[in-house]
Amino acid sequence: MRDRVARLTGRAVVAGPAGHPPRCTLDDGTVVVVKDGAAEPGSVPAEAAGLRWLAVPGGPPVARVHGADDTLLVTGLVEPGPATPAGAERLGRGLAVLHAAGAPALGAPPPGGPADAWIGHARMGDHPHDGPWGAWFAAERVLPYLRAARDRGALDPAGAAAIERVCGRIGDLAGPEEPPARLHGDLWSGNVLWAADGDGWLIDPAAHGGHRESDLAMLALFGLPHLDRVLAAYDERVGLHQLFPLLVHAVLFGGGYGDAAAAAARRL
């Protein structure tokens, strides 16, 4: 492994690999993390392409790719630290920037990434789709995994039928169309690494084009620290857009609407 890490990074390895996940120290003092994806063909090219695609100016910090081949990924080490309210707010603002960076289409893989990707240890197809989000989400993200869960006995017939009914009504439930967002794609709390610099760093993406609310929903699924701060910062421009209706209400009705407009301005 040392020779492969040296070849991928262009630096000699002076220590390691050691630990879990394996770490190596390069001859310039850089500590890198090494991930072997041989058991999941295509996972390393997908992850490397995803990490590069997610590294947008103003977005959340992303683990740096030092090198990758078909089965070995070398990324920078993120020194761990505590989750803080201020860091959560920066994460929320960064996610808004990341999502707004956009994607060519729903289901589009990152540039250079394979169409046959992974989410965790499960296969995930990334195939561009030009129809409505709900139809794509049902066909590409819900129904394939519904069938697999049912086949392995993890979902009973009644539960499967309930999910199928939701897919049948997806057009009514999906809400208004939005441009495809640039998604991390597997943004549960374990893939946000709180670092010594106070920021929440993104790791282990299943990046693709999708609906921005999918990332936010996954953050809420398994209990991210300071989630309320993340979501408030993500939506902090709501206050900017509220200035107009608040001032209209102040003109028409008086009361506390003027104070509310001033409070929104102070928060901004």
- Residue 3 a catalytic site member: no
Q: How far apart are CA 266 and CA 260, in angstroms?
A: 10
User: ∠ at Cα 246 (88, 176), nearest 5°?
Assistant: 65
* pLDDT band for position 265 (cuts 50, 70, 90): confident
pTM for the predicted model, two decimal places: 0.92
Q: Number of C-alpha atoms within 13 angstroms, CB side, residue 248?
A: 5
Supply the DSSP string of 7-38, one letter for each residue: HHHTS-EEEEEETTTTEEEETTS-EEEEEE-T
C-alpha R_g of the chain = 22
Q: What is the pLDDT of residues 22-66, one digit of tens each?
A: 999 999 999 999 999 999 999 999 999 999 999 999 999 999 999
Local confidence band at 258 (pLDDT 50, 70, 90 cut-offs): confident
Catalytic residue among 28, 36, 186, 197: 186
Give yes or no for residue 244 having a pLDDT over 90. no
Higher pLDDT, 126 or 246: 126
What is the average pLDDT across 187-192?
96
**Residue 85 half-sphere exposure, CB side, CA atoms within 13 Å?**
3
pLDDT of residue 202: 98
> Per-residue pLDDT tens for 219-230?
998 899 999 999
CA-CA distance, 42 to 122, in Å (whole number)?
12
pLDDT tens-digit map of 70-117: 999 999 999 999 999 999 999 999 999 999 999 999 999 999 999 999
Which residues share a beta bridge with 65? 75
